[in-house]
Amino acid sequence: MDAEELLRGITPLAGDVTAIRTVQETRPLEEFADAYVAEVNVKSASKVIKALDSSFPRDPSQPMNHLRRFAKHNQVPEHLRPALLRDGSSPSQTIFVLISPPLPDTETLQKVLAPFVPENAVSEEGAVPLHPVRIPLQPPMTTVQADTWSKSMWPVVFNPAAPRAMVAPPPHVLSRARELIQPNAGRYLALAQQMAEVAEQSGLGRGVGAVVVDPDLEAEIEIDETDEAGNIRWADAVVAVAGDGRYSRREVGMDDPPQPGTGPNPNIQTYDADREGGPELHALMRVVELISSKRRQDGPVSATGRPCLNYLETYFMAQSDVPVSESHDSSPVPEKYQKTTETAAHAIHKESETEDVPASRIRPRSQGGYLCTDLDVYLTHEPCICCCMGLLLSRFRAVIFPRGGRMVSGGLASEPVVQPVPVETEIEAEAEAETETEGEAAADSAEDKKKGAEPAKSREYYGLHWRKELNWRALGFEFVEERPVAVRAEEGVAFHA
């Protein structure tokens, strides 16, 4: 089949792009630690802070800005009142200061505080009283949490903009990316599904596909609405596609690597690790290698020894075969990496306008192309853990996959899908499951209805796209199909996508 014919026949999937929450959001860490409270003269408050800050260094990796440093008498949480509000202390005279971790030794602390403590608060032995309290180490995620902690632990401040950087992508970055991804996601995912079909039918892989898009190129495309039938300009932003190729390796004893056959490989019916070929032959890893080969300006040295496995991959690779014009571009570094006012998008537009030599969709290294920086990858399935880290190491900007393509072995989802609880009763649903021909699907939906969630098979939820521990992060999106998917991948053969 001709690639352009295939592109013309693509019907976009209908659905909504939704951000995958991070594990920091779905499983917020709640850590608590010991701290001290001391009563000081209200007039010395600023001196107390100076004295504390100059005597005891703070740990910059553990900001405590969410904790109020002082509590007035009426702000003291209920459970601390018997200990703190002693007879003879007056709201107009004293205030309570918090000493948060890292905690100094009590003797030094008492010495530092002594000048500011009201005389009648000092114990008979002359010691400054330090009251132990528990405090939350992380800032509150919601106002409700802030209120709860303020009442049960110590007054905290809720700042919606504050230190969420580690927890989740900044909301404006995420929503802007989502807006840009939404209009064409259905098309790219439909193309990925076509790629998957080609890969499966070749017998060289499972039905998994990957499509890589350059958002800068996407921004440049002006689709002519009048030319609906033949318009495939949307595909101009696609820099590479790849299908799964796990059965394409030349095994020991074979003279030649396996050749495309006429139908699916029988191994797709089950999962046998010895027949799985390895993650470097998964769609994500293969598309990364195809892009790298263009950056290097040589042929891919893939595990199969073959760059492209089918006509669709070859078609898109050929779009970047053109030699890049040197004449228009005096600098070898693309504008994107230059500190100039010109944008990369503008430069691309300029080149296509001149129509001298078309620009390569994948910039070689000599033109500043670097790994998969600033590219988005659309996948038919939730990638395996290995491929998730591979996409982070490749520095993709974003990853998008359809919810129906969730895998028990996947590394992106951060929580089970919560589905609406239907009005039908359990008994009806179960009866339906027994009588219907599509027994399995119905049984599953009955299962869902019972629990209101999707825990069909147990799995881990890694949310690898944005983990605070890792020093590369990507935006992660799920494409929620408008119509329910007939067979969810999670219900099929468990394998690594």
Partner 1 sequence: MSGEVIRQLQHGSQHSFFMKQALLMGEKALATGETPVGCILVYNNTVVGYGMNDTNRSMNGTRHAEFIAIEEMLQNYPRSALRKTDLYVTVEPCVMCASALRQYQIQTVYYGCGNDRFGGTGSILSLHSDSSIDPPYPVHGGLFHKEAIMLLRRFYIQENEKAPKPRPKKHRELKTNFDNSHSPILYVK
Rounded to whole angstroms, how far apart are CA atoms 10 and 260?
A: 23
Closest CB 370 distance from partner 1, rounded Å: 5
Closest CB 376 distance from partner 1, rounded Å: 16
Closest CA to 238 of 216, 273, 211, 260: 211
The CA-atom distances, in angstroms, between 426 and each of 162, 315, 436, 446, 449 are: 45, 51, 15, 7, 7
Using CB under 8 A as the criterion, which residues of the chain lie in contact with partner 1 when the complex forms? 249, 251-252, 271, 273-280, 285, 288-289, 292, 295-296, 301, 303, 337, 365, 368-373, 384-390, 393-395, 408-409, 411, 458-460, 462, 464, 467, 469-471, 494-496
- Judged by beta carbon, residue 13 or residue 412, the one nearer partner 1 is 412
Closest CB 284 distance from partner 1, rounded Å: 9
- Paired with 164 in beta bridges are none
Closest CB 281 distance from partner 1, rounded Å: 11
259 Cβ contact partners less than 8 Å away, ≥ 6 residues apart: none
Rounded to whole angstroms, how far apart are CA atoms 68 and 150?
A: 9
- Judged by beta carbon, residue 186 or residue 405, the one nearer partner 1 is 405
- Judged by beta carbon, residue 252 or residue 423, the one nearer partner 1 is 252
Rounded to whole angstroms, how far apart are CA atoms 371 and 293?
A: 10
- Judged by beta carbon, residue 257 or residue 422, the one nearer partner 1 is 257
Q: Mapping DSSP to helix (H, G, I), strand (E, B) and coil, where does residue 88 land?
A: coil
- Judged by beta carbon, residue 68 or residue 296, the one nearer partner 1 is 296
Closest CB 403 distance from partner 1, rounded Å: 20
Closest CB 156 distance from partner 1, rounded Å: 29
Closest CB 469 distance from partner 1, rounded Å: 5
Judging by DSSP bridges, how do beta strands 398-402 and 376-379 pair with one another? parallel
- Judged by beta carbon, residue 94 or residue 409, the one nearer partner 1 is 409
Q: Quick one: how far is CA 350 from the chain centroid?
A: 34
Burial status of residue 56 (CB atoms within 10 A of its CB: 0-12, 13-18, 19 or more): middle
150 Cβ contact partners less than 8 Å away, ≥ 6 residues apart: 75, 77, 156
N-terminal to C-terminal alpha carbon distance within the chain: 25
Closest CB 297 distance from partner 1, rounded Å: 10
In DSSP notation, 358-410 reads PPPSS--GGGT--TTTT-EEEESSPPBHHHHHHHHHTT-SEEEEEGGG--TTB
